[in-house]
Structure 1
C-alpha cells in the first residue's frame, strides 16, 4: 500500500485535532452528556469511519478497503468489551457521573498512546521475523480459550484489584474527594492525591492488557501500518459517547465474551495459516472478505442471542418476584 507522507500527516493531524477538541470541551464543562449529545457525536464518528473506508476503497483499492472495514470492526468489538471493564472500574472506584467523561477521555488517550507503541513494535516484528505470526496466532487462540473459561466459571472483572492500582493506593495519601482532572492538592499543609489518579492508573493498566489482544488481532487482518493505525483510531473515537449511550445495555450483552472468543480464535487461526503460507508450507490464505463475513455474522448472532437471553432472565425474575410467599404453618 503506497501511502504518501501527506496522507500520514493529514491523518495524524486530524486525530490530534479531534482529541484536542474533545479534551478542551470536556475540561471546560465536566458533565454527564445527554442521550441526544451522545447520539450526535457517535453518528459523526461512525460516519467518519465508514467514509474513510470508502475513500480507502476508492483511492487504494478494494482489498485495502475491505481490510480497513474488517480491522475496524474487530478493534471496535474489542473496544466495546473494554468499555464493560471501564463501567466496572468506575463503579468500583465510585467516580461521580459528571467526572466520568474526563476519566474516559484520559483512558482513550492512553489507549491511543499504548496502541501506537505496540503497533510500531508489532510492525517491526512482522517485517523482520515471519515466525512471529505463529506467536501472535497462538496468543490469540490462548486468549480466546481464557475468555471461554472465564465465561464458564462466571469470573467477574475486577480491574481495581490490579497490582499497580493496589500499590498506588497503599503508597500514596489518597483523598476521598474528586476534583475533576486536578490530581493533587494540599490540605492543612499535607499533599493529598486525588482518587482520580488511581482511576487513571487503573485505566492505563487496562489499556495495556487490551492492547496486547487488539494489536495481534489487527495484524491478523492486515499488515499495513496505515490501516492498522487508522482502524485503531476510528475504533477508539466515540467510545466515550457509546459508554453513556449504551450504559446498562452493555451488561445485557451476556454472550459478548463468547463472541469475541470465537473472533479471536478465527483470527488466530488465520495468522497461523498466514505464517504457513509465508513459510511455503501451504499455497493459500484465508480471504479477508471471508473474515469480514465471519465477524459480521458472529457479532450479529452474539448481540441477538444476548438480548434474547437477557429478556428471558428478566421475565423469570419478574415471575419469581410475583409468586406470593407460602402461608405460615398453623399451630
Structure 2
C-alpha cells in the first residue's frame, strides 16, 4: 500500500513538473520513480501467494533479471557490430558495443562474487551493482520520457521552424540524417500558417574543420531545391554545438519577431536533450524529431544519455561516489 501511495505522489509531482515546463529532466526522474514504486507495489502482492508459489517466484526473479541483462547485452553487442560496419569505428559509434560488453562484465563479476569467499571481491561487486543500477534507472527514465516527449504534437501557431544542423559529407553535401531533419522541417513550415503567412525556416549550423561550407549554407540550398522560397529561409551559420545552435537561432528570431514561438527540428534520438537545451537557452519553442535508421538509434541514445549525465556533473558524481562507498562497505561486511 505504501508503494502505491508513493507512486501516486510522484505522479502528482510529475503532473506539476510538466505543467511548469515539460522540458525538464526532473520530469523523467519523477516518471521513473512513479513506475518503480508501482512495480514495487505489484511485487509486494506476491506475498499473498501460497508459500510454494512464493518460494518459486523468489527463486525465479533473480534468474529472470540476470537473463534480461544478458539478452540486452547480446543485443547491444550485436548493434555495436552493425554500427562499426555501417558508420565506422569512431568512439561515438562504439557506445552500444562497450555497454553490452560492460553488461557481460557485470554478470561475470556478480557470478564470481557469489562463488568466491572474498571480502574485497564482494565489496567491488556490490559497489558495481549499485552504480549499474543507478545508471540503468536514469537511462530508463531518459528513454521513457524521451519517447513520451517525442509524441507531443507540434504547435500550429509558430513563427519559425528551426532545423538543427549535423555534419556534412564530402565537405558540402547534406547526408541522409540531416536530410531527414530538413524534410520534416520543410513539411512543418509548409503545413502551418500564422496570421495567414507561413513560418520562416531557420537552418542552423556552422562550418566544421572538415567542411567546405557552413552547414547552414548547404541546408538552405537543400531547402530551396525542395520548394522553399529563399525569402522564407534564414541562415544561422556561426554555431559549433547544439547549445550554440539554439542560442544564436534564438537571437535571430527575437530580432526579427520579438515574442516569437518556434518549433525546433532534430533527429528522434536527440529530441529530449535538445529540449533540455532549449529551456536552458531560453528558446520559446518545442522540439520534434525526424525518424532515424533503427540500427543507429541505440548507440545514439546512449550518447545522448551520456551527454545529459555530464550536464549534471556534481549531482551524478556525488551519487556515484556515495553508492560506491555504501556498496563497498556493505559488500565487505557480507
Q: TM-score, length-normalised on structure 2?
A: 0.24
TM-score normalised by the chain length of structure 1: 0.24
Structure of larger gyration radius: 2
Higher helix share: 1
